[in-house]
Structure 1
C-alpha cells in the first residue's frame, strides 16, 4: 500500500472496521458489493463494464472500502466513492463531492460498516477543503443520520394529446433553426448549451467528457423497449440555444397510433428556444404521449400549454445536500435579506461543525463566528443541508418538533433569507 492507501481502523461504531483506500484493482469487488446492496438486475460483470469507463476517467483516489479482516482475510464488505464536481449552489459554482457507489454487503448491515465509511469520507472531504457533499438517496431513511438533508424536488411530467397544444401567445421566433440528429454529431452544441445552463442552475454540475459519454450512451440497456436516442437542437444566428434528448416508442391500439415520446433531458436558455423544442416534441407524428423525467419544479411548461390542469406531474426528491463545513458554507452563500442569529448545530459525524455559530448575513454573504451566546435556534446539520438550496423551508421541521426555536420568529426570518425563487435541478443520477 502507498501512504495514501494506509489502512485506518475506525472505532466508535457497534463493531470496529478497517477502512482503506481502494484502487482500480479493487473496483470489481466494490461493484459486486454495491450491486448486491442495491438489488441490481445486471450481473457484476455487466455493471463493471458499464461503470468502469466513468471511474477510469474520474480516478480512484477518492474510492474507500470497508474490509472484514477478522479471520485473516480482506473481505470487502462496504464501499463508497465521490466525484469531484463543480456544482452551482447559492453563491455560485463551487467544488462539491458527489457521493456515489455506497453499499454494504447484506450480511454486514447494521453493524457500523456504513458509519465507518461515511465518517472517514467526510473527514477526507473536509481535509481537502471541500465544503459540501451531495448524493441521490436510494433509500431516504439512511442518509439523514449522516447529516444529509433532502434539499431538492424535481418533477416528472406526462402530457397526452390533445392537451399538447401550446398557447397562441407563447413566444415564437420564426428565424430559429431546428435540427434533429444523432447526439454524437451535435455533442459540441449540447455541451455548449449545458455549460451555460449549469453555470446558473442550482444543482447542476459541469460535465466532463466522461459524463457526456455516460449521458449519451445508447446501448440495449439504455434503450430498453424504445428507439435510439435522438437529439433535437434549436439554433439562432449566434449558435445553439436549447436541446432535448429523447427516445420514441411505437405503440398501436384500437384507435390507431398511440406512440410515446420519452424525454431524457430538456434544456433551453431562451423562452423562444423552449417553445420551439416543445412544439417539436409535441408535434411528432403517430404519438399520443410525451413524458419528461427530469424537470425543475418551476418549469414553465404548465404556463405554456392551453390547459395546464391536464398535465400529470409527479414530484420526487433528488439531491440530498450535506454541509461538510458549516461556517464556510454559510459564509459564501448568498441571502435574500439580511439577518443576524445564533444557531446551535449538532453534527454526530463531523464534530468540527458542532457548536454555536453567530451568523450575521447580508445579500452578499455572511460573517460566521463561534460563540458562547445563547442560541436562537437549535437544529441538526441535516436540517441546514435540506434548507441550503432555498427550496425546503425550515418551518416544516419546526412544526414537526424536530428543531427548537428559542427566540420566536427566528425560523421565519431564516426561511425568508434562505429562500430562492429559482428551483434546483440536478437531472442526472450519480
Structure 2
C-alpha cells in the first residue's frame, strides 16, 4: 500500500496530536496541547494518510543553531510518530525521506533531532552528534576546590521565574553562541521552559529561580524544582532537580551551583549537563558526582556541499571524502574539503578518495564531538590514505563539546 503524505491543515490538529499521544503513550493536559499547537509550524508538518485516518506524522521547527564558529538555519525535527496499528508498513521511512527532501528544497543544509529511540535514526543518515551526563550529587560532599572562582560583587536573588522572564531571555541570548548545538529560543520555547501548571511539574513542586547579579545587572540564572522529603527518623532528605543553569562567566556559574547545592533540607541534586561541564572541574571530590551517559542531539547533513563550509575548523585540512548516502542521493559522491584559518570550501571532484564514510558519520562529527576515529576503529568507515581520518577528526573537533540542553 501507499500512504499519501502532505502537511496538515490547522483543523486537522486533533487527529495529528492523537497520533503522537498514542505513539508516545502520553495524555497531555489541554493546556499542554494548546501550547504545543501554538508552537507548530503547520506548513512544516507532514502526515501519512490511510484513507481518512492519519497513520503517521512528523514536523519541523525552523531553528537557528550554533555550530563551530557561527550559526546557521537548522531543521529541528520533532513529533515523529506512527500509530501502533500501522507499524512495519514503511510509513516512517516514507515520512523521513519526504521530510529530508523538503528540508533540502528549503535550502537548509542540516537537520537535527532528539531521538526517542536511538536505534531508529541512523537508518536515515542521522549521527549521534552530542552527549549528555545525567549527574547526581550528594550535597554533603559537594565542596568546591579552594581556587573556585569567586566575585565578592556577585549576589544571589531568589525570584519567581515568570516574573523575570526578560532577564532570563536576555542572559540566554548572550550565551547561546558559546556552545555548538545550542539554539535560539523563540516565544514558544520560552513558554515551554517556564511552564509551571500542575501537569508540567511531574510530581515536583513549583518552578523556582535564582539570579546571580551585581551592580551592572544579571550575570546568570538557575531554574530548578524541589521535592520535600524526610526519612523515617525525621532527617531531611529533600531532592532538587536543576532544569538549567546559564551564566556569562565562571564566577556566576560557580555561585549559582553553590546556590542549589547549599539549599537547606536538600540532600541530593540532579541535573543534565554537557560531558565537559565546568561543574566536573569545580568539585573538590569529583568521585561524589555520579554520572550516567546518554546520547543527546542527533544531526543529519542534508547538503554536504553547503554544510561543510558553513562551520569553522580547529585545524587545516585538505582531503577527498567519498560520502555514502542512499536517502539524499545528491550527497552520494566524492567531495574535496579544504579548510584553513577563517574559510572552508567543499567541491565535487572525481579524484581518488582519502576516506569513505556514511553520511551519518559526518553528522556525528559536524558539531565537533569528534568520534570519527572511534568509527574507524569500529570498522564503520574506510581509510584509503593513512592518517586521513585523524586529520579530518582533528579539524572537525571543537571545544566546548556540543550540547543542545533543551529537548524539542
Q: Is TM (by shorter chain) over 0.5?
A: yes
Aligned mate of 1:274, from 220, 230, 253 = 253
Instruction: Check conservation: 2:320, 2:352, Cα contact below 8 A.
Output: yes
Separation (CA, whole Å) in 1 of partners of 2:118 and 2:30: 25
Counterpart for residue 28 of structure 1: 14
Instruction: Check conservation: 2:23, 2:84, Cα contact below 8 A.
Output: yes
Separation (CA, whole Å) in 2 of partners of 1:423 and 1:264: 20
Instruction: Check conservation: 2:68, 2:312, Cα contact below 8 A.
Output: yes
Give the deviation of 1:417 after TM superposition: 0.6
Give the deviation of 1:120 after TM superposition: 1.1
Aligned mate of 2:268, from 289, 303, 306 = 289
Aligned mate of 1:262, from 201, 222, 241 = 241
Give the deviation of 1:48 after TM superposition: 5.9
Give the deviation of 1:422 after TM superposition: 0.6
Counterpart for residue 125 of structure 1: 103
User: Any residues of structure 2 matched to 1:234-383 within 5 Å, and which?
Assistant: 234-253=212-231, 254=233, 256-292=235-271, 294-383=272-361
Which shows bigger deviation, 261-270 or 23-32? Answer: 23-32
In structure 1, the gaps of 5 or more residues are: 1-14
Instruction: Check conservation: 1:95, 1:130, Cα contact below 8 A.
Output: yes
Aligned mate of 1:53, from 35, 48, 58 = 35
Q: Structure 1 length as normaliser, TM-score? A: 0.92
Residue 86 of structure 1 aligns to a residue in which SS? strand
User: Any residues of structure 2 matched to 1:172-251 within 5 Å, and which?
Assistant: 172-251=150-229
Instruction: Check conservation: 1:23, 1:63, Cα contact below 8 A.
Output: no
Separation (CA, whole Å) in 2 of partners of 1:306 and 1:376: 45
Give the deviation of 1:347 after TM superposition: 1.2
Aligned mate of 1:155, from 133, 137, 160 = 133
Counterpart for residue 78 of structure 1: 56
Residue 180 of structure 1 aligns to a residue in which SS? strand
1:155-198 CA-partner distances (Å, limit 9, x unpaired): 11111032122223211112112111111111111111111111
Separation (CA, whole Å) in 1 of partners of 2:293 and 2:341: 30
Separation (CA, whole Å) in 1 of partners of 2:33 and 2:60: 14
The size of the alignment, in residue pairs, is 407
Give the deviation of 1:219 after TM superposition: 1.7
Instruction: Check conservation: 2:320, 2:354, Cα contact below 8 A.
Output: yes
1:75-98 CA-partner distances (Å, limit 9, x unpaired): 111101000111101231111111
